[in-house]
Amino acid sequence: MKTLFSTLALSLAVAGFASAEPVNKKCPVNPSKDVNPSKTTTHEGKEVGFCCGNCKAKFEADPAKYAKKIK
């Protein structure tokens, strides 16, 4: 029973973290496009959104290049 409660608590914590809203409305890689809330990554403790998976991959490869554009 203790394991069941621990698993449930961990699942709820992960679900709460994964559903965090991005701090930005525009993609930092392609600023002319709106953020797709399902394309996010955590950067410096904040959830950052991107317009597509391609932009997310570019950001993750070189976050310093795009971090200043997070608005």
Task: Give Cα 39 to chain centroid, integer Å.
Answer: 6
Number of domains making up the chain: 1
Residue-level pLDDT, tens digit, the chain, 71 residues: 555 445 444 444 444 455 589 999 999 999 999 999 999 999 999 999 999 999 999 999 999 999 999 98
- Is position 9 within any domain? no
pLDDT for residue 19: 59
On whether residue 37 sits in a domain, the answer given is yes
State residue 71's pLDDT score: 85
pLDDT at residue 20, as a whole number = 87
The answer to whether position 61 is within a domain reads: yes
Q: What's the domain range around 66?
A: 22-71
Residues 31 and 69 sit within 8 Å (Cβ to Cβ): yes
Distance CA 66, CA 29 (A): 6
Residue 41 located in a structural domain? yes
Give the global pTM: 0.72
Task: Tell me whether residue 48 is in a domain.
Answer: yes
